[in-house]
Amino acid sequence: MTSTEVEAISINVVKSLGLAVGLIQIIMGLFKANYLISYLSDQIILGFTTGAAVHVLTAQLNKILGVALPRHSGIGKLFFIYQDLITAIIGEKVNVITFGASVVAIVILYISKYILTPRFCAKTLVPIPFDLFLIVIGTIIADWFQVEERWGVKVVGDIPTGFPNPALPDLFMFRHVIGDALAIAIVSVVVTVSMGKVIAKKHNYEIDVRQEFFALGIVASTCSMFPCWPATTALARTLINDNAGTKTQVRFIFKFNFRNNNAKLEKLKN
């Protein structure tokens, strides 16, 4: 089997998985399964989001150190990952350039968020996208110095432009992915609702859990016509958008919430 055939099969599996996840979430919404999740206590939600944050951080550590780790699954996965990380550090397999660039990026983002941003908020209503500037400058530096060829630093590489042609997923693969789809459908909703409740409590409003079932189900079903993973909440991106004052997806494209920025400005003055 050629690499092209393997890639085509993998894409079909992903698309079938996405459709299965979407249909399961829509069915759960129709049968009002939201009541099973809406009664999650604040302690469970905070514990779940904290645990998810630990897993997200752990998943990024090998990329920060520039080491390749074997895959683990099942109980104790987190401890095996840390064991492999410690072994890689002791064995001096860390890519020094990758680690140095990661540390510099973290320091720059920390200074930008906690030192520069409060000062600029007092002078301008438009938030300055330090994250975007860092990505652009880092891309230029990586290309200029050819860090992949010289020091083995992993880069994203070429990104294809445009959209792939839509195509229906293979329905005959459902029987192979239905078990994983059920687990993904439940976990993705729990993650979304948990993060949503944390933000809702912070800003004093309520979320409609049943609506989240339908929203995620429709997104997953529609995206299954393209090679896309089933969607769920991105913890880090959600917090970044919340700190930036984001209210809607439309605002993320072109609109700024001047009322929130004015409130922040008055808070800084006081």
pLDDT tens across the length of the chain (270 residues): 676 777 778 888 888 999 999 999 999 999 888 777 766 777 777 787 788 778 888 888 999 999 888 888 778 888 899 999 999 899 888 999 999 999 999 999 899 888 888 787 777 777 778 888 898 999 999 989 999 888 988 888 777 777 778 888 888 888 888 888 998 898 888 888 888 888 888 888 888 888 989 999 999 999 888 888 888 887 777 777 776 667 666 655 544 444 444 444 444 444
Closest CA to 126 of 267, 262, 268: 262
Report pLDDT for 103.
Answer: 94
Is there a domain that residue 98 lies in? no
Report pLDDT for 200.
Answer: 85
Distance between CA atoms of residues 5 and 13, nearest Å: 12
142 in Cβ contact with 148 (< 8 Å) = yes
Distance between CA atoms of residues 176 and 179, nearest Å: 8
Checking phi first, is residue 92 left (phi over 0); if not, alpha (psi -120 to 50) or beta? left
Is there a domain that residue 39 lies in? yes
Closest CA to 221 of 9, 17, 11, 13: 17
Is there a domain that residue 37 lies in? yes
Residue 181: Cβ within 10 Å count: 23
Number of independent structural domains in the chain: 1
Q: Take residue 102 and report the two structure tokens written for it.
A: 């990661």
Is there a domain that residue 118 lies in? no
Is there a domain that residue 213 lies in? yes
Is there a domain that residue 230 lies in? yes
Is there a domain that residue 10 lies in? yes
Q: What is the domain extent for residue 196?
A: 3-56+170-268
Is there a domain that residue 76 lies in? no
